[in-house]
Protein backbone atom coordinates (compact mmCIF):
# COMPACT_ATOMS: atom_id res chain seq x y z
CA UNK A 1 0.00 0.00 0.00
CA UNK A 2 1.40 3.39 -0.98
CA UNK A 3 0.55 5.06 2.32
CA UNK A 4 1.40 8.71 1.70
CA UNK A 5 -2.18 10.01 1.44
CA UNK A 6 -5.66 8.73 0.69
CA UNK A 7 -7.90 5.82 1.69
CA UNK A 8 -5.11 3.48 2.75
CA UNK A 9 -6.98 1.71 5.57
CA UNK A 10 -9.92 0.73 3.37
CA UNK A 11 -7.67 -0.86 0.73
CA UNK A 12 -5.61 -2.60 3.42
CA UNK A 13 -8.75 -4.12 4.95
CA UNK A 14 -10.08 -5.22 1.54
CA UNK A 15 -6.78 -6.85 0.60
CA UNK A 16 -6.68 -8.66 3.92
CA UNK A 17 -10.14 -10.09 3.26
CA UNK A 18 -8.92 -11.64 -0.01
CA UNK A 19 -5.87 -13.18 1.63
CA UNK A 20 -3.09 -10.67 0.93
CA UNK A 21 -0.47 -9.55 3.43
CA UNK A 22 0.03 -5.79 3.31
CA UNK A 23 2.83 -3.37 4.11
CA UNK A 24 2.41 0.40 4.23
CA UNK A 25 4.98 1.90 1.87
CA UNK A 26 6.48 5.29 2.69
CA UNK A 27 10.22 4.75 2.17
CA UNK A 28 12.40 3.42 -0.67
CA UNK A 29 13.36 0.31 1.30
CA UNK A 30 9.67 -0.57 1.64
CA UNK A 31 9.19 -0.29 -2.14
CA UNK A 32 11.85 -2.97 -2.51
CA UNK A 33 10.15 -5.22 0.05
CA UNK A 34 6.77 -5.68 -1.66
CA UNK A 35 5.65 -7.89 -4.54
CA UNK A 36 3.07 -5.36 -5.75
CA UNK A 37 1.72 -1.91 -4.99
CA UNK A 38 -1.71 -0.32 -4.53
CA UNK A 39 -2.02 3.42 -5.16
CA UNK A 40 -5.19 4.47 -3.31
CA UNK A 41 -7.76 7.12 -3.99
CA UNK A 42 -7.13 10.54 -2.49
CA UNK A 43 -5.68 13.69 -4.04
CA UNK A 44 -3.51 12.91 -7.04
CA UNK A 45 -1.50 16.15 -6.89
CA UNK A 46 -0.71 15.52 -3.20
CA UNK A 47 0.23 11.87 -3.80
CA UNK A 48 2.47 12.94 -6.69
CA UNK A 49 4.22 15.59 -4.58
CA UNK A 50 4.72 13.23 -1.63
CA UNK A 51 6.24 10.47 -3.78
CA UNK A 52 9.03 12.92 -4.59
CA UNK A 53 9.37 14.32 -1.07
CA UNK A 54 9.63 10.82 0.44
CA UNK A 55 11.99 9.60 -2.30
CA UNK A 56 9.81 6.72 -3.49
CA UNK A 57 8.98 7.94 -7.01
CA UNK A 58 12.14 6.63 -8.71
CA UNK A 59 12.17 3.28 -6.84
CA UNK A 60 8.52 2.73 -7.82
CA UNK A 61 9.23 3.56 -11.46
CA UNK A 62 12.17 1.14 -11.43
CA UNK A 63 10.03 -1.66 -9.99
CA UNK A 64 7.23 -0.95 -12.47
CA UNK A 65 9.70 -1.13 -15.35
CA UNK A 66 10.71 -4.57 -14.06
CA UNK A 67 7.07 -5.71 -14.15
CA UNK A 68 5.79 -5.13 -10.61
CA UNK A 69 1.96 -5.28 -10.56
CA UNK A 70 0.28 -2.01 -9.55
CA UNK A 71 -3.39 -1.25 -8.90
CA UNK A 72 -4.63 2.34 -8.78
CA UNK A 73 -8.12 3.47 -7.81
CA UNK A 74 -9.47 6.97 -8.58
CA UNK A 75 -6.42 9.18 -7.84
CA UNK A 76 -4.38 6.00 -8.31
CA UNK A 77 -5.71 5.71 -11.87
CA UNK A 78 -4.54 9.27 -12.49
CA UNK A 79 -1.11 8.38 -11.10
CA UNK A 80 -0.83 5.41 -13.50
CA UNK A 81 -2.00 7.28 -16.62
CA UNK A 82 0.51 8.34 -19.24
CA UNK A 83 -1.44 11.55 -19.86
CA UNK A 84 -3.59 13.62 -17.46
CA UNK A 85 -6.05 16.31 -18.55
CA UNK A 86 -7.14 19.11 -16.19
CA UNK A 87 -4.22 18.43 -13.85
CA UNK A 88 -2.14 21.06 -12.11
CA UNK A 89 0.58 22.63 -14.23
CA UNK A 90 3.47 20.85 -12.46
CA UNK A 91 1.59 17.60 -11.80
CA UNK A 92 3.39 14.40 -12.76
CA UNK A 93 2.12 10.85 -12.97
CA UNK A 94 3.97 7.58 -12.64
CA UNK A 95 2.60 6.51 -16.01
CA UNK A 96 2.69 3.01 -17.41
CA UNK A 97 -0.90 2.82 -18.63
CA UNK A 98 -1.30 3.96 -22.23
CA UNK A 99 -4.39 6.02 -21.41
CA UNK A 100 -5.44 9.64 -21.17
CA UNK A 101 -7.57 10.46 -18.12
CA UNK A 102 -9.55 13.57 -17.27
CA UNK A 103 -9.19 14.57 -13.64
CA UNK A 104 -12.45 15.18 -11.68
CA UNK A 105 -14.36 14.35 -14.86
CA UNK A 106 -17.60 13.44 -13.05
CA UNK A 107 -17.67 16.70 -11.10
CA UNK A 108 -17.18 17.76 -7.51
CA UNK A 109 -17.71 15.89 -4.23
CA UNK A 110 -21.44 16.72 -4.31
CA UNK A 111 -21.68 14.96 -7.68
CA UNK A 112 -20.55 11.61 -6.22
CA UNK A 113 -22.74 8.64 -7.15
CA UNK A 114 -23.06 4.87 -7.13
CA UNK A 115 -24.11 2.51 -9.91
CA UNK A 116 -23.98 -1.15 -10.95
CA UNK A 117 -21.27 -2.05 -13.46
CA UNK A 118 -20.40 -5.10 -15.51
CA UNK A 119 -16.66 -5.53 -14.93
CA UNK A 120 -14.71 -7.97 -17.08
CA UNK A 121 -12.40 -10.51 -15.45
CA UNK A 122 -13.61 -10.43 -11.86
CA UNK A 123 -12.73 -13.39 -9.69
CA UNK A 124 -15.62 -15.78 -9.16
CA UNK A 125 -14.73 -16.96 -5.63
CA UNK A 126 -17.69 -16.06 -3.37
CA UNK A 127 -15.15 -15.21 -0.67
CA UNK A 128 -14.36 -12.08 -2.70
CA UNK A 129 -17.80 -10.69 -1.96
CA UNK A 130 -20.23 -11.88 -4.63
CA UNK A 131 -20.47 -14.39 -7.43
CA UNK A 132 -19.01 -13.76 -10.84
CA UNK A 133 -22.11 -12.84 -12.83
CA UNK A 134 -23.45 -10.23 -10.42
CA UNK A 135 -22.87 -6.55 -11.22
CA UNK A 136 -20.28 -4.63 -9.25
CA UNK A 137 -21.60 -1.77 -7.12
CA UNK A 138 -19.21 1.05 -8.01
CA UNK A 139 -18.74 4.21 -5.93
CA UNK A 140 -17.56 7.32 -7.81
CA UNK A 141 -16.15 10.21 -5.73
CA UNK A 142 -14.60 13.14 -7.66
CA UNK A 143 -13.59 10.48 -10.13
CA UNK A 144 -11.63 10.64 -13.38
CA UNK A 145 -12.68 8.94 -16.57
CA UNK A 146 -10.58 7.61 -19.45
CA UNK A 147 -10.78 9.61 -22.68
CA UNK A 148 -8.20 7.69 -24.73
CA UNK A 149 -7.20 4.03 -24.60
CA UNK A 150 -4.05 2.72 -26.25
CA UNK A 151 -4.00 -0.45 -28.37
CA UNK A 152 -2.55 -2.66 -25.62
CA UNK A 153 -5.06 -1.54 -22.99
CA UNK A 154 -8.01 -3.79 -22.14
CA UNK A 155 -11.22 -1.97 -21.20
CA UNK A 156 -12.82 -3.75 -18.23
CA UNK A 157 -15.82 -1.49 -17.56
CA UNK A 158 -17.68 1.53 -18.88
CA UNK A 159 -20.40 3.71 -17.34
CA UNK A 160 -23.15 5.68 -19.03
CA UNK A 161 -23.07 9.28 -17.83
CA UNK A 162 -25.05 12.18 -19.27
CA UNK A 163 -25.79 10.28 -22.46
CA UNK A 164 -22.27 9.01 -23.16
CA UNK A 165 -20.31 5.88 -22.27
CA UNK A 166 -17.04 6.49 -20.42
CA UNK A 167 -14.26 4.00 -19.68
CA UNK A 168 -13.82 3.55 -15.92
CA UNK A 169 -11.71 0.39 -15.51
CA UNK A 170 -8.69 -0.77 -17.51
CA UNK A 171 -5.86 -3.25 -17.47
CA UNK A 172 -2.56 -3.29 -19.32
CA UNK A 173 -0.28 -6.19 -18.46
CA UNK A 174 0.42 -6.02 -14.72
CA UNK A 175 -1.25 -2.64 -14.30
CA UNK A 176 -4.89 -2.34 -13.20
CA UNK A 177 -6.86 0.87 -12.63
CA UNK A 178 -10.40 1.91 -11.76
CA UNK A 179 -12.06 5.33 -11.70
CA UNK A 180 -14.25 4.14 -8.84
CA UNK A 181 -13.46 3.08 -5.26
CA UNK A 182 -13.84 -0.72 -4.95
CA UNK A 183 -12.46 -0.62 -1.40
CA UNK A 184 -15.66 0.96 -0.04
CA UNK A 185 -18.20 -1.17 -1.91
CA UNK A 186 -18.25 -4.25 0.31
CA UNK A 187 -17.54 -6.30 -2.84
CA UNK A 188 -13.90 -7.36 -3.00
CA UNK A 189 -13.76 -9.00 -6.41
CA UNK A 190 -11.60 -6.23 -7.92
CA UNK A 191 -9.09 -6.75 -5.12
CA UNK A 192 -9.36 -10.48 -5.75
CA UNK A 193 -8.54 -9.91 -9.41
CA UNK A 194 -5.47 -7.90 -8.44
CA UNK A 195 -4.30 -10.53 -5.94
CA UNK A 196 -4.64 -13.14 -8.69
CA UNK A 197 -2.52 -10.92 -10.98
CA UNK A 198 0.14 -10.61 -8.28
CA UNK A 199 0.17 -14.37 -7.63
CA UNK A 200 0.62 -15.06 -11.35
CA UNK A 201 3.47 -12.54 -11.56
CA UNK A 202 5.26 -13.84 -8.46
CA UNK A 203 4.86 -17.40 -9.74
CA UNK A 204 6.32 -16.51 -13.12
CA UNK A 205 9.41 -14.78 -11.73
CA UNK A 206 9.81 -17.38 -8.97
CA UNK A 207 10.20 -20.09 -11.62
CA UNK A 208 13.27 -18.41 -13.12
CA UNK A 209 16.52 -19.98 -11.97
CA UNK A 210 18.18 -16.59 -11.36
CA UNK A 211 15.33 -15.14 -9.29
CA UNK A 212 15.87 -14.24 -5.65
CA UNK A 213 12.69 -13.33 -3.80
CA UNK A 214 12.59 -9.94 -2.10
CA UNK A 215 11.11 -9.33 1.32
Known active-site residue 30: no
* Active-site choice (11, 30, 74, 191): 74
Known active-site residue 181: yes
Chain segment 44-89, per-residue pLDDT in tens: 999 999 999 999 999 999 999 999 999 999 999 999 999 999 878 7
Give CATH for domain 8-206: 3.40.50.880
Question: In the chain, where are the structural domains located?
Answer: 8-206
The whole-angstrom separation of Cα 108 and Cα 59 is 33
Chain segment 132-143, per-residue pLDDT in tens: 578 999 999 999
**Cα→Cα distances 62→28, 31, 57, 68, Å:** 11, 10, 9, 9
* Active-site choice (11, 30, 166, 183): 183
Amino acid sequence: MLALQGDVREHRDALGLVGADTLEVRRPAEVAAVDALVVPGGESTTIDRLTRIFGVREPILKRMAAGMPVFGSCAGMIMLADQVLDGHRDQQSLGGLDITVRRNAFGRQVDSFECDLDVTGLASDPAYGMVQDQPFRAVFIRAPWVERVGPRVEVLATVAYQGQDHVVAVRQGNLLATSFHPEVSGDYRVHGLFVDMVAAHVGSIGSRPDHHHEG
